[in-house]
Structure 1
Amino acid sequence: MDVANYQTALIVGAGEGVSASLARLFAREGLRVALAARRIEKLSALCSETGARAFACNAADADEVERLFGSVEREIAAPDLVVYNASARARGAFVDLVPADVAQAIAVSAFGGFLVAQQAVRRMLPGRHGAILFTGASASVKGYPQSAPFAMGKFALRGLAQSMARELSPLGIHVAHFVIDGSIRSAARAEAADRPDSMLDPDAIALSYWNVLQQPRSAWSWELELRPWVEKF
């Protein structure tokens, strides 16, 4: 079976939670890891723990994204595994939403995914090898009240992933979208004692990402839904 071997991972929208769990897992598996975020000072502890390198980038800015990939390529290597984990929200009653806030939320959640993926694909196509993973949410498939901008962004990101998968899978690039349908456990937010495992464990999410990356190309997934065992859907 032909299973891809990845060397360099770039996680965009890095922080605590899923992206931190992914960084730890990738480092344990021997990958070189680059982390990108608007504010990289928050990544110092994770970099020390994993040996990752941090790069400042606004994912919704085309020039910054292009510079990010150039920097990662010069200082580490061209990434053959890219995870887009950035998103933004603008909450409120529909009639009260501020257009500029909505535009920003969509820019980060969806347009940034396009910008990052385009730079990644340009580097992956010559070798017909690579993987691009997008982190979605319940809002990728369900629009909730007073959350229209988040739904708009996540629906768009899912559409981007589906279109890319159909175009790029035959060219050797594995594109996958993950619907994270439920609350994610963190140091600041844990499930009640009488509801064990009722929240998603970020390490378990990371393992699912890794399992998709290990799929033989004769049986690739383009989308995976993840939710706690008690979550309604």
Structure 2
Amino acid sequence: MTDAVQQKEANTRVAWIAGVGASAGLGAALARRFARGGLSVAVTGRSRERLDAIVAEIERAGGQALALPGDVTIESELAAIARQLVERGTLEVAIFNAAGATRAPTLDLSAGQFEAAWRVTTLGGFLFARAALPPLLATGRGSLLFTGATASLRGRPPFAAFAAAKAGLRSLAQSLAREFGPRNIHVAHVIVDGGIDGERLRTSAPQRVAERGPDGLLDPDDIADAYWYLHQQGRSAWSHEIDLRPFNESF
């Protein structure tokens, strides 16, 4: 590798987004937003096919992206991805958007289902942070952002497993903010308080989409703008937690 190529890669600003699936979803919207901001975006999820489609979409728009499939519950896979990111450039922002959306009445909820929700959402967030923090700390700055939900703040049936996992992720984010904020890493938690107008909801609950009507769901691109805002905040006025909800959502 020539010195010129090494210098170019050293100057490449990288965003790593875990929990990327369908193009019409929040993970993909985050990838597009940070690519428009001039970062090279690494997208992680379980489906290589979907990741490749999002990479191609970003590249057609003139951005840079890389598909790095992996399972957020497997520490070795996240560590391997983090090593690839260091080779690609300077990690500037890491976003954890994965979640285990288990839904069942409590007496129908198995221990395995409960644990699976925790593994993806809470343990996955911890393992992702463990992988992302060393390169962020080596840079001396950066953002570590987590996707929360209404369930981060309150539990209700049939979301006992999801709520417990999301509450755990929120507590993890608070701990990380207190530990790494003084080291110039902006750790923030975004509560998405409402349904996201994406493929998952439109496929699994089309009746809910119809019921919500105009301004009843969150636009993924608008959510992504909020993450970009968090990343751009000056440290004299960092937000640790923000909540986002559609116009017609009560709270």
**Structure 1 position 183 matched with structure 2 position 183:** no
CA distance in 1, matches of 2:133, 2:212: 46
CA distance in 1, matches of 2:85, 2:110: 35
Contact in 1 for aligned 2:44/2:51 (Cα 8 Å): no
- Name the structure with the higher helix share: 2
Task: Specify the alignment match of 1:19 in structure 2.
Answer: 27
Aligned-residue RMSD, C-alpha: 1.8
Give the direction of change, closer, same or farther, for the CA distance of 1:194–1:139 in structure 2 (3 Å limit): closer
User: Given the two structures, how large is their TM-score scaled by the length of structure 1?
Assistant: 0.92
User: Given the two structures, how large is their TM-score scaled by the length of structure 2?
Assistant: 0.85
State the Cα distance separating 1:192 from its structure 2 match. 4.3
Structure 1, unaligned stretches of length 5 or more?
1-5
Task: Specify the alignment match of 1:3 in structure 2.
Answer: none
**Structure 1 position 145 matched with structure 2 position 157:** yes
Task: Specify the alignment match of 2:130 in structure 1.
Answer: 118
Contact in 2 for aligned 1:10/1:35 (Cα 8 Å): yes
CA distance in 1, matches of 2:15, 2:170: 21
CA distance in 2, matches of 1:229, 1:9: 29
- Look up the SS of the partner of 1:144 in the other structure: coil
Deviations 1:26-70 (CA, angstroms, capped at 9, x unpaired)? 111110000011121112221111131111211011111111211
Q: Larger deviation: 152-161 or 14-23?
A: 14-23
Task: Specify the alignment match of 2:214 in structure 1.
Answer: 196
**Structure 1 position 222 matched with structure 2 position 240:** yes
Q: Larger deviation: 116-125 or 214-223?
A: 116-125
CA distance in 2, matches of 1:195, 1:39: 31
Residue of structure 2 aligned with 1:58, choices 64, 71, 75: 71
Task: Write out the 4+ residue segments of structure 1 that deviate beyond 6 Å after TM superposition.
Answer: none
Code of the aligned partner of 1:7 = R
Code of the aligned partner of 1:164 = L
**Structure 1 position 37 matched with structure 2 position 37:** no
State the Cα distance separating 1:167 from its structure 2 match. 1.4
CA distance in 2, matches of 1:170, 1:155: 24
Contact in 1 for aligned 2:86/2:135 (Cα 8 Å): no
CA distance in 1, matches of 2:224, 2:137: 25
CA distance in 2, matches of 1:113, 1:192: 32
Aligned pairs for 1:59-98 within 5 A? 59-74=72-87, 76-98=88-110
State the Cα distance separating 1:193 from its structure 2 match. 9.5
- Look up the SS of the partner of 2:81 in the other structure: helix
Contact in 1 for aligned 2:14/2:85 (Cα 8 Å): no
**Structure 1 position 130 matched with structure 2 position 142:** yes
CA distance in 2, matches of 1:194, 1:13: 25
Code of the aligned partner of 2:227 = Y
Aligned pairs for 1:146-185 within 5 A? 146-185=158-197
Q: Larger deviation: 99-108 or 121-130?
A: 121-130
Deviations 1:64-91 (CA, angstroms, capped at 9, x unpaired)? 11112112223x2242210001011222
CA distance in 1, matches of 2:119, 2:213: 36
